[in-house]
Amino acid sequence: MAEALGQIVINGRFLQRPVTGVERFAAETLTALDHLLSAGALPRLSLVLAVPAGTQPAISFRNIPVQHVGRHQGHLWEQLDLPLFCGKRRLINLCNTAPIFKRNQLVVIHDAAVFSVPQAFSASFRLAYKAIHAGLSLVGARILTVSEFSRRDLAQHLPLRAERIAVLPESAEHVLRHTPDRALLERTGLAKRPYVLAVSSMAAHKNFSLVLDALTRLDNPPFDIAIAGGGNAKVFGHGGELSSDRVKWLGYVSDAELRALYEGAMCFVFPSIYEGFGIPPLEAMQCGCPVLAARAASIPEVCGDAAIYFDPQDAAALAQLLLKVADDVSLRNTLRQKGLARAQQFTWQRVAQELAHHGLLKGVPA
């Protein structure tokens, strides 16, 4: 049996940020890891979650204590206070960034988006992330990512061979943890009319404009479009929102509201042109929502044969596909059943077990 490494520090900077896919990955992975510790599956393993001063975590763990560390915030905290606190202990970083000069650490880099779709980010964001990722590769940090697609993409842009990058797929069963809150559907009128759901941030590479373009090509479409999520215009280098009288811009929604949206939707559409993994399609599948997805990046790897794919540059084709799905109950039922089966292949417990294998136990190649 592999031997535990002694106390390991977890980078808790993500707890200060709004929840997107990256933060969701970190929170759910730690929750699953905490459950494994409670079950005695990882004996003699000691973890501590380091967070910046003033952080009030929205989640708590039975076996992973929180420790407030340092005087700085943001990147300064991560580059100065965190490695000082760690000393020689191993550090686990689950959200793309890490202290650039620390060797004994594991870093999950979710994608190579700053290299592959640089137009989606501001210049300062690109510069910071490129420097951090390149530096981590050079100092010998253990690199993990979330899909085979991301492994290949990272290897093209970093001084690191693909075989030195381990893959840790994500999951989505967390969406079932919450009782659906359907009040949002009543307030917005979505309960009265079929709707197509899209969920993500407003980054340019999420390609929401394709869905709006598809909608404008239809005369009196038998459905509305509901878009949940938000974006940071400063980070993504642009602002503004598309508008349409048939589009419901919902902004950030609670997990309970999100489940209700998935369960009530005619279908879920995922038009992104770039994803390291893409949790929303799996969330939709968990909730029995038929999925239409772009044939791009990691998306086919994640969705398998449980989605209908479309060209993320062809709005006319998407418009016709939406009409077809709206008109075909049998097709929706088939997609629903395939999606439920596909979603069962991914679990956060498996993610936590793989993380333990790659970064928490001795005897594992670094």
pLDDT band for 8, please (50, 70, 90 cuts).
very high
188 and 220, same domain (yes or no): yes
In a domain, residue 365? The reply is no
Whole-prediction pTM: 0.91
- pLDDT tens for 50-100 read 999 999 998 999 999 999 999 999 999 999 999 999 999 999 999 999 999
48 and 186, same domain (yes or no): no
197 and 134, same domain (yes or no): no
Retrieve residue 204's tokens.
Answer: 């340019």
Q: Residue 244: its pLDDT value, please?
A: 61
CATH number assigned to the domain comprising residue 221: 3.40.50.2000
Share the mean pLDDT of the chain: 92
335 and 351, same domain (yes or no): no
- pLDDT tens for 100-111 read 999 999 999 999
In a domain, residue 203? The reply is yes
- pLDDT tens for 305-328 read 999 999 999 999 999 999 999 999
pLDDT band for 235, please (50, 70, 90 cuts).
very low
In a domain, residue 1? The reply is no
Highest mean pLDDT among 42-46, 195-199, 359-363: 195-199
Query: Cα Rg for the chain, rounded, in angstroms?
Result: 21
In a domain, residue 366? The reply is no
- Structural domain count of the chain: 2
**Considering Cα of 310, then 316, then 322, then 327, what sign does the dihedral take?**
negative
88 and 221, same domain (yes or no): no
152 and 244, same domain (yes or no): no
- Closest Cα partner for 75 from 13, 149, 144, 163? 13
Residue numbers of the domain that contains 54? 7-171+347-360
106 and 225, same domain (yes or no): no
- Closest Cα partner for 303 from 313, 311, 293, 312? 293
In a domain, residue 188? The reply is yes
- pLDDT tens for 246-279 read 899 999 999 999 999 999 999 999 999 999 999 9
pLDDT at position 365 over 80 = no
124 and 184, same domain (yes or no): no
44 and 167, same domain (yes or no): yes
267 and 129, same domain (yes or no): no
315 and 195, same domain (yes or no): yes
In a domain, residue 311? The reply is yes
165 and 221, same domain (yes or no): no
Retrieve residue 295's tokens.
Answer: 């044939």
Report in angstroms the alpha-carbon separations of 71 from 79, 85, 93: 12, 12, 20
Supply the angle between the helices 329-343 and 315-327 in degrees, to the nearest 10: 100
